[in-house]
Amino acid sequence: MSNEYDVVVIGSGPAGYVAAIRCAQLGFKTACIEKWLTKDDKTVFGGTCLNVGCIPSKALLDSSHKFMDAQNHFEVHGISVGKVAIDVPAMIARKDKVVDQLTSGIKGLFTANKVDGIAGTGKVTGPNKVVVTDKDGKQQELAAKHIIIAAGSVPIDIPPTPIDHETIVDSTGALEFQEVPKRLGVIGAGVIGLELGSVWARLGAKVTVLEALDDFLPMVDRQIAKESMKILSKQDLDIKMGSRVTGSKLSKGAKKSVTVEYSDKDGEQTEVFDKLIVAVGRRPFTDSLLDESVGVELDDRGFVKVNDQCATNIPSIYAVGDVVRGPMLAHKGMEEGVMVAERLADKKTQVNYDLVPSVIYTHPEIAWVGKSEEELKAEGVEINIGVFPFVASGRALAANDADGMVKLIADAKTDRILGCHIIGASAADLLQQIVIAMEFSASAEDIGLTMFSHPALSEAVHEAALAANGHAIHIGNRKRRK
């Protein structure tokens, strides 16, 4: 294998592997370096997303949802299944199998696209040079016309609750419990806290979520956030807002527990948990990645500094995904990977950062794109709002899954769609049609004039668009217009 490449990508998470594949498709000789090792010391591609992020968390969310459905929701359909039991090790083993299948798939895609997957830790030692050190300490130097940094992110630790990987765990540890903890504490009512808290609550854990902020899901449209809090609180998730964790004490003895100290509006509090998940955000990972002499600039929070095209201050070096500014989402990193590859091939590809969809995979799902009602009002934009509750959707009622609503916001002068916010079953998939519509600058009327299959959950999106212009059919309209 020659050590000279057109492109060397460091990191094989969604940002890195997609960048590498697209580069190879465009005719660049490409290598992708990965340091991730499995428990049995094998290099594995796919990064956080495939190994300990999006995929394993959704596998457990799907398993636990089926358990909850069988336990609580079958009877109403006239189905009795007797006593429903959960085999946690089997559930975790299934999750591991899904992960294996997908990470092996990346290896296959590298082979099919002629990307050289290289095992080891990459360090940028010059504008066109990367040194790779493998797990046995053996080094090789790669020459690269272009380097793409896709080193991702890792969980943030906080001093009051040091991770011991047994009783106090991060998101990775929370995907590995071998039994359902009786009392589960979660620090952080963010995306991970709500998703992984939901998994274990559905399986029978008594879950308490401690969140420092007073506002629940501050990045979400207020009406949707309020509805989410109402729905999630009914699911054995005790979400305590305004609760800042200040300390913790591990018990001694064989069966460990942890006493968490926190302060809220009533003063100092304590609570005892069998397991504690710390989910207070993630930080960019640049440890041992950059030789200082190269001069790649980081910002004050440790992200690699890039422009809108993901170029760093060094002309041959780019950075994509969680290691750069913007939401830490797999799809955002993938699109950045494609953009950089295509720009290296002299195409004019851009990422539309205004239209990054976000989803929280609770049940019901919470999904949004564009601006919230509050953001638009603060900007002084005149808006029309259409809201359609799933309780008025024939399909949602047929499925006995009618919590939530679709909220669509359009510019009052031009009718252009400015945002869509959904809490409901399959919200992620429902939202995508509006992401596409917004990418084409569609108006609420465009959606209203489109024919939707009946009966389908997506009719709620149709009706919300009609409601924005005052003529929804299946609900009363806030304002009626011709």
Contact pick of 5, 9, 16, 190 for ligand FAD (by CB under 6 A) = 16
281 is in the binding site of which of ligand NAD, ligand FAD, none (Cβ under 5 to 8 A by kind)?
ligand NAD
10 is in the binding site of which of ligand FAD, ligand NAD, none (Cβ under 5 to 8 A by kind)?
ligand FAD
Return the H-helix or E-strand segment holding 276: strand 275-278
Q: How many C-beta atoms surround the C-beta of residue 305 within 10 A?
A: 15
Contact pick of 117, 152, 190, 448 for ligand FAD (by CB under 6 A) = 152
**Shortest distance, CB of residue 19 to ligand FAD, whole angstroms?**
9
Q: How do 365-370 and 121-126 pair as beta strands?
A: unpaired
69 DSSP 8-state letter: I
Is residue 399 helix, strand or coil? coil
Contact pick of 169, 191, 434, 447 for ligand NAD (by CB under 6 A) = 191
Q: Does 322 bind ligand FAD (CB under 6 A)?
A: yes
Distance, in Å, from the CA atom of 128 to the CA atom of 130, rounded to the nearest integer, reads 7
Is the Cβ–Cβ distance between 373 and 456 less than 8 Å? no
159 sits in the region (left: phi over 0; alpha: psi -120 to 50; else beta) called alpha
156 DSSP 8-state letter: P
Q: Which is nearer to ligand FAD, 22 or 35 (CB)?
A: 35
Distance, in Å, from the CA atom of 214 to the CA atom of 300, rounded to the nearest integer, reads 26
Distance, in Å, from the CA atom of 119 to the CA atom of 139, rounded to the nearest integer, reads 11
Determine the size of the site formed for ligand NAD (CB under 6 A). Answer: 25
Contact pick of 44, 237, 304, 360 for ligand NAD (by CB under 6 A) = 360
Distance, in Å, from the CA atom of 170 to the CA atom of 56, rounded to the nearest integer, reads 14
**Shortest distance, CB of residue 216 to ligand NAD, whole angstroms?**
9
Distance, in Å, from the CA atom of 231 to the CA atom of 365, rounded to the nearest integer, reads 11
Stretch that binds ligand FAD, among 265-273, 330-338, 339-347, 373-381 (CB under 6 A): 330-338
Return the H-helix or E-strand segment holding 89: helix 88-113
213 is in the binding site of which of ligand FAD, ligand NAD, none (Cβ under 5 to 8 A by kind)?
ligand NAD
Backbone angles phi, psi at 362, to 5 degrees: -75, 180
Q: Does 280 bind ligand NAD (CB under 6 A)?
A: yes
Sequence ranges of the binding site for FAD: 58, 122, 322, 328-331
- Quick note: the x/- pattern for ligand FAD over 247-286, rule CB under 6 A, is --------------------------------------x-
Q: Does 321 bind ligand FAD (CB under 6 A)?
A: yes
289 is in the binding site of which of ligand NAD, ligand FAD, none (Cβ under 5 to 8 A by kind)?
ligand FAD
Q: Does 437 bind ligand NAD (CB under 6 A)?
A: no
Bridge partners of residue 244, in order along the sequence: 263
Helices 54-68 & 88-113 angle (0-180, nearest 10): 140
Distance, in Å, from the CA atom of 54 to the CA atom of 361, rounded to the nearest integer, reads 10
Q: What's the one-letter identity of residue 114?
A: K
Q: Does 317 bind ligand NAD (CB under 6 A)?
A: no
Q: Rule CB under 6 A: which of 354-373 touch ligand FAD? A: 361
Catalogue the active-site residues. 454
Helix (H), strand (E), coil (C) string for 453-464: CCCCCCHHHHHH
118 is in the binding site of which of ligand NAD, ligand FAD, none (Cβ under 5 to 8 A by kind)?
none
Stretch that binds ligand FAD, among 204-212, 301-309, 324-332, 380-388 (CB under 6 A): 324-332
Is residue 289 helix, strand or coil? coil
Is residue 383 helix, strand or coil? strand
Contact pick of 7, 9, 31, 35 for ligand FAD (by CB under 6 A) = 35
Stretch that binds ligand FAD, among 9-17, 136-144, 308-316, 398-406 (CB under 6 A): 9-17
Q: Does 305 bind ligand FAD (CB under 6 A)?
A: no
Q: Give residues in contact with ligand NAD (CB under 6 A).
A: 158, 187-193, 195, 210-213, 244-245, 279-282, 327-329, 359-361
